[in-house]
Structure 1
């Protein structure tokens, strides 16, 4: 399990590099985007699912193709929990829409567990910090989904009028992010692995 920092790709190579300038003086080190290779030196492991470059938090890596399939396939409905900072304070109507599922890009999302957190969760500061607007309050939601479509949380909160500012995945099933700082990883314990296989 790896605590993916903000602005890091969920893959070991940057396929978006400018091929025309790669290897030439025109391609500076600064333009290379950070990848998992900058943090993890374990060979032959792959990310289970993805976290967008602008999202943070728990990412699992494995060399077990069968386990990767089970954890990635929406049919198995594995819960993933996120802390989501949104612009403004969502009302009950918006929270209920998120809970019941809503249509985004011609697709109805599955019902989700959603609650408004009473206080800001304790997280390491994000670098760079989110944009701050004095006139616009923010709130934190805890959202648990059983599917992982591309940019789904961001699209859901935007659809109900509360754009996502910061997104941190804090749990996959019973595995939680606690004990890791951004950029750190650790092996799963045998018990944790067994729980994942029984999912």
Structure 2
């Protein structure tokens, strides 16, 4: 029986359980929020990005989720500087050329500010003379800082980045810093066997005590 943890990663949290940096003081890691032994991230989410991160104790499932060969769609809600026009959106959808080559075609659309959006700490920078807007990007690859590089390439730097879903899993019911675990009876289709069996709310303290619900 494989375990899969769905975690809503807050801003300024590393997608790893330990921080190897020695300068600048301790940084928040997954160990500040998740106390499930034996699970490891399937892919990563940058420190300055927010949203869904999957962790599992099944090595094959971990590889499938993070491998671009399996093409698990990943949905991002992106606050950008300016208001992308039709040409910019079309360029993102077709694929833009980055330093490491062209990106795969993506699904893209302009969206209103997401409902139920939580405040970010610290908030994004605000330029009174420059508007901002939201887009949704669905990618099937995961290069280093890809979304940020893509929006910058079409003239709209990313201000805030939230990953809303990975494959069939999303952030429903998870506030920042919360996680839930599901058990998978058959990882070939990664279908959950049952409803979430545990949920924990976390604060900023190091290795806090869990809370059952």
Q: TM-score, normalized by length of structure 1?
A: 0.89
Greater helix share, 1 or 2? 1
Change (3 A) 1:94 1:128: same
* Aligned twin of 1:23: none
Shift of 1:17: 2.5
Equivalent position of 1:22 in the other structure: none
TM-score, normalized by length of structure 2? 0.83
Q: Distance in 2 between matches of 1:157 and 1:39?
A: 31
Q: Give how far 1:196 is off.
A: 2.5
Q: Which 5+ residue runs of structure 2 have no aligned equivalent?
A: 1-5, 193-213
Alpha-carbon RMSD across the aligned residues, in angstroms, is 1.8
TM-superposed deviation, 1:106: 3.3
2:3 maps to 1:2: no
Give yes or no for contact 1:79–1:146 (8 Å, CA) kept in 2: yes
2:180 is paired with a residue of what secondary structure? coil
In structure 2, which of residues 57, 78, 102 is the aligned counterpart of residue 84 of structure 1?
78
> What is the DSSP-based 3-state SS (H/G/I as helix, E as strand, rest coil) of the residue aligned with 2:135?
strand
Instruction: Identify which of 137, 143, 163 aligns with 1:169.
Output: 163
Query: 2 CA distance for matches of 1:189 and 1:151?
Result: 30
The match for 2:105 is: 111
Superposed structure 1 runs of 4+ greater than 4 Å apart: 189-195
Name which of 64, 70, 75 aligns with 2:64. 70
More strand by share: 2
User: 1:189 deviation in Å?
Assistant: 5.3
Shifted more, 85-94 versus 126-135: the winner is: 126-135
1:69: how far off?
A: 0.5
Gaps of 5+ in 1: 19-26
